Structure 1
């Protein structure tokens, strides 16, 4: 059953990102009345785009955890912590690159990844 959930999370992530770009974000960004953050709507558009796609990354992280839980090994805790760390590393990279570091969520995402990895060394 967990493999079905894994598959559904992967599919919904793909659909969410693709359909969101096609039918929501691109249409929204054509508007001329978006809030101007940091002096222009460039930052607003970038934050909306990375936040939209970050949902997909989170869902894929959950998919990986469900996959690991479907056939747990003796190292399941370590494997789940690695998935969590990787999910937050990818989230940090996306946040940093989409906003050129101006949205500070990347700092928190990297800190979460680091604390997860430090936890592995203490176990």
Structure 2
């Protein structure tokens, strides 16, 4: 169960970065009304791109920890339950802000349940 949860987290990160870059960021950056910070829009676009992909990195880090603690590390149950709660709360954000239209909440809830049930 933990390996499946880690894989789901990793794939969610891949989808987030690829689809976000292709369908959101590139189109956003073509707009002519982006804030001009520090003399231009380069800082704005760089910051938005960095923050966007940072979320992917965070979920990949969580996926790595989940995978590593699946080997019965001491306190693994506590660590996994904390990450389970993080995943479940993360699932609430798209439910609230998009009224469930962004389907990532399904993956986050699945990961949260798999982590909770799969914890030793």
Question: Per the shorter chain, which TM-score range?
Answer: 0.5 to 0.7
- What TM-score, normalized by structure 2, do the two folds share? 0.59
- Aligned mates of 2:69, 2:5 — CA distance in 1: 11
1:36 is aligned to 36
2:65 is aligned to 65
- Aligned mates of 2:72, 2:30 — CA distance in 1: 47
1:106 is aligned to none
- Aligned mates of 1:41, 1:19 — CA distance in 2: 22
2:12 is aligned to 12
* 1:49-100 CA distance string (max 9 Å, x none): 01100111100000011101211346x7xxx9xxxxxxxxxxxxxxxxxxxx
> Can you give the 5+ residue segments of structure 2 that lack an aligned partner in the other structure?
80-120
The answer as to 2:46 corresponding to 1:46 is yes
- Aligned mates of 2:14, 2:46 — CA distance in 1: 19
Q: 1 or 2 for the larger relative contact order (CA 8 Å, sep ≥6)?
A: 2
In the alignment of these two chains, the number of paired residues is: 76
> Can you give the 5+ residue segments of structure 1 that lack an aligned partner in the other structure?
81-123
**Runs (4+) off by over 2 Å:** none
- What TM-score, normalized by structure 1, do the two folds share? 0.58
Tell me how far 1:5 sits from its aligned partner: 1.0
- Aligned mates of 2:58, 2:37 — CA distance in 1: 25
